[in-house]
Amino acid sequence: MDTVDLIIKSSTEFYNDLKVDENGRYRSWEHCYSHFIKARGSQEIDYDYLSLQLAFYLASWGMYRGSSFLLQKDYKVHIPVVKELLNEKYDVLAGIDCIGFKDDSNQKLLQDINSFLEQYYDKIRHKVKEQELKNQLSFTLITKILMGTLGCVPAYDRYFIAGIKNQKVATGNYNIRSVMQLVHFYIGKGTKNRVFEHEKESLGSPDSEKLKLKTIADIKNAGFEVEKIIINSNLTEEEAFAAEASLINAFNYVGDAGITNIVAGHHSAEALSVDEYERINGAAPLEEKDIRHKILVIKINRLYQRGMDEKVLSDAVCGVWRVSKEKVRTVEYVFGVYNSLIVAVYKPSEWFVCKEAKDRLPRQDIVLTPKTENRLFFVDERYEQGFSLDENESFYIGKSIAGLQLNQSAQNPITYLYPLEKDKIYI
């Protein structure tokens, strides 16, 4: 049995055993994680309750046994950690897809939260032990906290470490190198029999929501076979990523080629016509000194389409977004940004919480779930009434924000800009 089959078999058996007992101890992860996900973007957060959820989850997952320093503290000791974990800068890590860690900015966020947790709990551990600490804080504790609240890494306990080392999947030390080894193992890089893996996976998951697997299943159900073509071989990893990105961009530019890759390609920008390239790369730069208002920048690379209708563009920028209600109500203008080019500028008249204004949602395809119902959208009454751009909108439209060095490659599409007198740009 190869490594992938072994992992699938073991995971399935564990999950099936877990389903039998609706009050099993390991369900505490499910309770903890679901409460933290619901709290993100919520206007009323009960930090005390979330701290209790975190403490009980950690206890049921073995972090309060024996000589653990946490045994000497009540559950409220976790409140500062809960507040940090719910910082909106970590929103992108909440339930992140494996592919997301190929983005350097997300790796940096993971390192940031790792450092915070290590420093915070080390201080408490030092006070409890009342002596110099010989060993560093357990990575098992850090990763179990992250797994139970953000779901962004697996728990590096002794069983997991033994497994990945035995199967030569990754190193047993929790660090970015080990996480990226897991990412590469999960995603695959076209090695060995990778060309057959998607088809094999689709047979085991015929009802999968993943577009690639669904497309393969549809082809098989129609009585056809999937033709497999090896475009190139004997490439380095860097060359393979570049080739993949170029092919995806070319097919997507030609038209609706039905490419089912979740992302465009590793560190790639999409294919552009000469006119589009010149419009984006030849645009006048927006400099820090030009920022005269409180601005919300929304990256719409995935929503933007060539020649899209003005109303469709407006609906794409208006929402829905995971943002702070208090913060956006100070925003004076909203930029819709495509590949660093400001393609739309709006002046919000009012912001709405989705579940409180279902009849005013900007797009008909929006389906509200417990995870999205507290997200926000805005309306621009001047735009809806057909007014032309005001002086400020005309100034900003068509400029490039590339020179501001904002984090426009990250999964999180939201960035805030403030006038220079604020003495800094908030990212």
Q: 249-285, pLDDT tens digit by residue? A: 666 655 554 444 444 444 445 555 666 666 666 788 9
Number of independent structural domains in the chain: 2
For residues 148 and 28, membership in a common domain is answered with yes
Both 180 and 314 in a single domain? no
Q: How many CB atoms are located within 10 Å of the residue 198 CB?
A: 17
**Residue 137 included in any domain:** yes
Instruction: Tell which of 171, 187, 203 closes a domain.
Output: 187
Domain endpoint, select from 187, 221, 241: 187
Answer yes or no: do 73 and 182 share one domain: yes
Q: Round the CA-based radius of gyration of the chain to a whole number and report it.
A: 24
Q: Is 198 domain-assigned?
A: no
In the three-class reduction of DSSP (H, G, I as helix; E, B as strand; rest coil), residue 240 is classed as helix
Residue 292, in any domain of the structure = yes
* 228 in any annotated domain: no
Residue 103 lies in a domain: yes
Name the strand (E) or helix (H) holding 37.
Answer: helix 27-39
Which among 63, 108, 187, 10 is positioned nearest to 410, based on CA atoms?
A: 108
The reply to whether 67 falls in a domain is yes
User: What pLDDT is attached to residue 175?
Assistant: 93
**Sign (positive or negative) of CA dihedral 259, 262, 267, 268:** positive
For strand 295-299 and strand 414-417, is the pairing parallel, antiparallel, or unpaired?
Answer: antiparallel
pLDDT of residue 264: 43
pLDDT of residue 297: 94
> Do residues 36 and 177 both lie within one domain?
yes
| Residue at which a domain ends, from 187, 219, 252 | 187
> Measured between alpha carbons, how far is residue 79 from residues 33, 60, 89, 214 in Å?
16, 19, 18, 42
Q: pTM surpassing 0.75?
A: no
Residue 313 in contact with residue 306, Cβ under 8 Å? no
In degrees rounded to 5, what are phi and psi of residue 343? -100, -10
Other C-beta atoms lying within 10 Å of the C-beta of residue 133: 11
CA 232 to chain centre: 31
Judge if 13 and 159 occupy the same domain: yes
Q: Quick check: helix, strand or coil at residue 408?
A: coil
Residues of the chain below pLDDT 70:
1, 188-214, 228, 230-238, 240-242, 244-281, 405, 407-412, 421-427
- Angstrom distances, CA of residue 99 to CA of 70, 261, 264, 376: 34, 11, 11, 26
The boundaries of the domain holding residue 301 are 284-422
What pLDDT score was predicted for residue 405? 67
Contact 334, 295 (CB under 8 A): yes
Please calculate the CA angle 83-84-86 and round it to the nearest 5 degrees. Answer: 65
Residues 290 and 183 in one domain: no
Say whether both 55 and 173 belong to one domain: yes
Q: Are 298 and 414 in contact (CB under 8 A)?
A: yes
Same domain for 303 and 409: yes
What type of residue sits at position 80? Answer: P
**Averaged pLDDT of the chain:** 82
- Supply the DSSP symbol for 136: P
- Domain-located, residue 229: no
Residue 70 lies in a domain: yes
